[in-house]
Structure 1
Amino acid sequence: MLALVGHTPLARIRTALPHPHPGFWAKLEGLGAGGMKARGAVSMLRGARARGELRPGAPVVESTSGTLGLGLAFAGQALGHPVVLVGDSELEPAMRQLLRAHGARLELVGEPAREGGWQAARLARLRELLRRMPDAYWPDQYGNPDNAAGYLPMAAELADRLDHLDVLVCSVGTGGHSAGLAAPLRRRWPRLRVIGVDAAGSAIFGQRARPRLMRGLGSSIQPRNVAYEAFDEVHWVGAAEAVDACRRLARSGFVSGGWSTGAVALVSAWAAGAEPGAVVATVFPDGPHRYLGTVYDDDFCRVHGLDAATPAVRPEEIAHPRAAPPAPAAGWTRCRTVVDPADPAGPADPADPAGPAGPADAVARAVRTARVPAPARGGGACG
C-alpha cells in the first residue's frame, strides 16, 4: 500500500480563471491513494514509530475536517493502526461514509467553541479521548514537523519534472505541505517566490476569524507548522470565487477538485497572467468527488447565496494582514506583508485600533501553543 503514495501526475492548466492566462502546472494529488495528506499522515506515523512514541497496533487519534482523516485512514491500514477521527457536524455525509468505510471510527462535535471555532471544539474532544485512551498517539498535524517532512518527496517530484520554477502557490491549512515544499524548492531555485492561499475569514495570517463555508484551507487557529517566513505574499479567497474556479476547471479542463483546488487555481492563473513567462506551479490537493454536495451542488450554492454572487476577478490589495477584507468571508484579497501573528516582535498595523493582538488572537495563540501531556503509559500523546 505504501508504494501507492506519491508520484502523482503534473498537468498543464490553461482554463480561463476567469480570464485567459499563459498556463500553470498543477500536481494532481487527488490521483494518489489517500489524497495529498496521505503523504503527511504516513510520515507522521512512521516518525512516531521510529521514536517509540507509537507502539505496534496502538490507536491513532486526530482532529480533522476530512482530508487528513482520509490520509490517516490510509496510513493506519498500511501500518497496522486503528484510527479514531474527531470531526464536527459540518463534515459532509459523503466524507463520513467514506471514512467509516475505510475503517476509521468517527467522533463528531456538535457545536463550535465560542473562541477558536470548530478546531478548538475538536481539540477539546480529542483531549478527552486521549485521557480515556492512554495508549493512543496524537499526531498533532498542526505542529508536528513530520507533517511537513512528508512533502519532501513531492518537492523532489516537482524538481524532477520542471527545468525552472518562478512561483509556487500553496493552499494553507495546517501549513504542512507549504512548509515541506518551500524550503527544498527554494534551495533549488533561490529566487523562487511563494504565495500562500488562505480562506477569507481565516485567522492563520492574522485576520479576525469569521464563519467560513470552505473546508480544507483556512483555520480559526494559527498552526505551528505554518512557515510564515517562507511566504512572499498571501491571498484570501472567498467561497464564491473558489466555486467559480472549480466549476470552470471541471467544465473546460476536466481536472478539478474542491475548495482548496479552486482557490489555488484562481491565484495561480492570476500569477501566471501577472508575469508572462514566469513558470508557476501549485498543488490540487484532491479531486471533486467529496464536493458533489457542496461546490458542485446547485441547491447548496443557492442556499448559501453563491449562485447570486459575482466572483472577484482580481484581488484587492491591502497593506497589512490585520486589515479587514472587503466583506466577511468573501471576495479576494492580496497582501505582500506576511507576519507571524503570534510573534510579539512582528510589525503591527498602525491603523488597527485593536493593536497588535485582540481577544480572538490571544485565544488563537493559546490553542496554537497548547500541548497535551504525555499519558502515564503508552506512546506520547502529542506530536
Structure 2
Amino acid sequence: MNHLTTPVYPASPARLLAAAKRPVHTPAGLVGDTPVLWIGEPFTAAGRGFWTKLEGHNPGGIKDRTALHMVRAARERGQLLPGARIVESTSGTLGLGLALAGAVFGHPVTVVTDPGMEPLMTGLLGAYGSQVDLVHTPHPTGGWQQARRHRVEELLALHPDAWCPDQYNNPDNVAAYAPLAHELVAQLGRIDTLVVSVGTGGHSAGTASVLRGYFPRLRVVGVDTTGSTIFGQPAAPRLMRGLGSSIHPRNVAYDLFDEVHWVAAPEAVWAARTLARHHYATGGWSVGAVALVARWLARTLPAEDRIVAVFPDGPQRYVGTVFDDPYCREHRLLGHLPADDPDEITHPTDRVVTRWTRCTRITDPLATAGRPEADEHALAGAAR
C-alpha cells in the first residue's frame, strides 16, 4: 500500500520566500546574484572539475552589469544628459545591456554592429527599442571593430548631445565587475584559479583585481581566440565573437594575468556542444573556449585547487551558429576533437597560432620596447 507524504509548510508564509529573490521594481534589479554550478564528469576527468559562474542568468548576459554601471556613472558625472542618445559599437551582448540601461534610465540607444551579428540579436535589440546601425565594410587593418568605431564617431558628430560609453577604454567597464567578484567570494569562500575570456578587458580586469585582494596568490588565466591581437598575435579574420579583438583595448590589465590561452573556433564549438549535451549549462564561443581551458586546468592542477570559470552568456544567441549543424559544416567546425594538451610557446610573438596554444609570458603589445613597464608586464606571470 502506498502512503502519501503530507508536505510540511513553514509556520509563517513569509518564510516561504526566505530563499527566493526579492521582488524588484525595475529590470535593473534582475541583474547580478547569478548562480554557480559545478562541472565535472563526463566533461572533465574522473574526480576533477571546476565551478562556473553562469552570467547567462542575467537578462542579457554578463554585460548587463557594465552597461548599467557605465550609464549610471556617466549620468552622475553629467557626461550623459537626461534623455540623450547612447551610441556604442558592439558584437551583441553589450547591446542588450545598453538596451536594458536605456529602458531603466530613459535613453534612446543606437547600436553599431556588423554583418556578423546574429539575426536573433538584431531582432531582440529592435524589440527592446534600440536602433541597429550596420557597417558593411571592414577597416583594412582594424577589421570590423575599427569600422564600427569609425561609424560611432560619425554618429556622435551628427548627434552632439549623444554619449558613447567607449567600453574598450572606459574604466567604469572594469569597476562594474566588483559585485561579480564579491558574489564569487560569498558563494565559494576560496578561489585559487580564475579562468576568464578577454575581449574589451572589462570583466577580466574587474573580477580578477578584486579577487586578488582577497586571494593574493590567485592564478588568473586569460582566454583569447586565434586571430586576436590582444596578447600580441597578428590580426587575422575571426569567426568567434564576444572574445578577442582586432584593436588593443586599454582596459586589458596585462599585469594581472599569469598565462593566456588562444583557442580556435572548432575547439570552442566542441566544448560548448559537449557541455550542452552532458551538463545542460553552456553558451557560445566564449563559454566553449573558457570551458576547454578550465577542463585542462582541472586535470593538470592539484586536485584541491578551486577553479572558477566565468561563462559570459547562455546558448540562445548561438542557435544559428555554434549549435547549428549546417553552419558548422559550412565553416568546417565539426569533428575536431581538441588535443589533450595545448601547444606551448615561450613568447606571444614566437609564431602565429592556429589551434589551442598556451603562453606564460604576458606582454602588452603597445608597450614600448625597453620600458620598465613592459618588463614588469612580461614578468608578471613568472613572479607568482
Category of TM-score, reference length = shorter chain: 0.7 to 0.9
> In 2, Cα distance between the equivalents of 1:48 and 1:65?
22
Are 1:286 and 2:313 counterparts? yes
Counterpart residue number, 2:365: 341
Aligned equivalent of 1:299: 326
1:126–1:315 distance in 2 versus 1, CA, 3 Å: same
Looking at structure 1, the residues matched to 41 and 143 of structure 2 have their Cα atoms a distance apart, in angstroms, of 35
Per-residue deviation, residues 93-129 of structure 1 (Å, max 9, x unmatched): 1111111111110000012110110101001111100
Runs of 4 or more consecutive aligned structure 1 residues displaced over 2 Å after TM superposition: 15-21, 308-313, 323-327
What is the match of residue 231 of structure 2? 205
Aligned residue in 2 for 1:176? 202
Task: Pick the aligned partner of 1:250 from 251, 276, 280.
Answer: 276
Query: Cα–Cα, structure 1 residues 21 and 86, in superposed 2: closer, same or farther, change >3 Å?
Result: farther
Say what the alpha-carbon RMSD is for the aligned residues.
1.3
Cα distance in 2, alignment partners of residues 230 and 243 from structure 1: 27
* Cα 1:19/1:298, change in 2 over 3 Å: farther
Give 1:30's aligned residue: 56
Q: Give the conservation status (yes or no) of the 8 Å contact 1:62–1:126.
A: yes
Tell me the amino acid that sits aligned with residue 341 of structure 1: P
Cα distance between partner residues in 2 of 1:207 and 1:157? 33
Q: Is residue 191–residue 215 contact of structure 2 (8 Å, CA) maintained in 1?
A: yes
Once the two structures are TM-superposed, the CA of residue 324 in structure 1 deviates from its matched residue by 2.3
Using the TM superposition, give the Cα deviation of residue 272 of structure 1 relative to its aligned residue in structure 2, in angstroms: 1.3
Secondary structure in structure 2 of the residue aligned to 1:196 = strand
AA aligned opposite 1:277: E
Q: Which amino acid aligns with 1:295?
A: V
Identify the residue that residue 139 of structure 1 maps to in structure 2: 165
Q: 1:46 aligns with which of 61, 64, 72?
A: 72
CA deviation profile, 1:331-353 (whole Å, cap 9, x unmatched): 10000000111101369xxxxxx
Asked if structure 1 preserves the Cα contact closer than 8 Å seen for 2:60 and 2:313, the reply is: no
Cα deviation 1:149-171 (Å, max 9, x = unaligned): 11100000001111211100010
Q: Distance in 2 between matches of 1:21 and 1:72?
A: 41
CA distance in 1, matches of 2:369, 2:50: 37
* Cα separation, 1, equivalents of 2:340 and 2:92: 29
Deviation at 1:183, TM superposition (A): 1.1
Rounded to whole Å, the distance in 2 between the matches of 1:245 and 1:20 is 17
Counterpart amino acid of 1:344? T
Q: Which amino acid aligns with 1:169?
A: V
Compute the displacement of 1:308 (Å).
4.1
Query: Are residues 1:115 and 2:141 paired?
Result: yes
**Quick one: higher RCO (CA 8 Å, sep 6+), 1 or 2?**
1
Give TM-score scaled by structure 1 length.
0.88
**Equivalent residue, structure 1, for 2:299:** 273
Change (3 A) 1:204 1:32: same
Greater gyration radius: 2
Structure 2 match to 1:124? 150
Gaps of 5+ in 2: 1-26, 372-384
Q: Give the Cα separation in 1 of the matches to 2:122 and 2:177.
A: 26
Residue 323 (str. 1) matches residue 347 (str. 2): no
Aligned residue in 1 for 2:336? 309
8 Å Cα contact 2:270-2:336 kept in structure 1: no
**Hey, what does 1:225 align to over in structure 2?**
251
Distance 1:273 1:10, change over 3 A: same
Instruction: Mark the CA change 1:209 to 1:16 in structure 2 (over 3 Å): closer, same or farther.
Output: farther
Partner of 1:362: none
Q: How far, CA to CA, are the matches of 1:72 and 1:51 in structure 2?
A: 18
Quote the residue 1:368 is aligned against.
none
CA distance in 1 between partners of 2:206 and 2:313 (Å): 18
How far 1:311 sits from its partner (Å)? 2.7
Q: TM-score under structure 2 normalisation? A: 0.87
The DSSP-based 3-state class of the residue aligned with 1:135 is coil
Give the % identical residues.
57
SS of 1:236's partner is strand
Q: Which amino acid is 1:338 matched to?
A: I
* Aligned counterparts of 1:247 and 1:55: Cα–Cα separation in 2: 44
**Match of 1:13, as an amino acid?**
I
| Residue pair 1:61, 1:83 contacting (<8 A) in 2 also | yes
| Aligned counterpart for 1:192 among listed residues 179, 203, 218 | 218
SS in 1 for 2:113: strand
DSSP 3-state at the match of 1:112: coil
Q: AA paired with 2:278?
A: S
Aligned partner of residue 198 in structure 1, secondary structure = strand
1:264 to 2:268 alignment: no
Q: 1:301 is paired with a residue of what secondary structure?
A: helix
Give ranges in structure 1 of 5+ residues lacking alignment.
348-383
Distance 1:101 1:255 in 2: 26
Contact 2:61 2:93 in 1 (8 A): yes
Q: Which residue of 2 aligns with 1:65?
A: 91
Superposed CA offset, 1:53-87 (max 9, x none): 00111110000000111111111111111110000
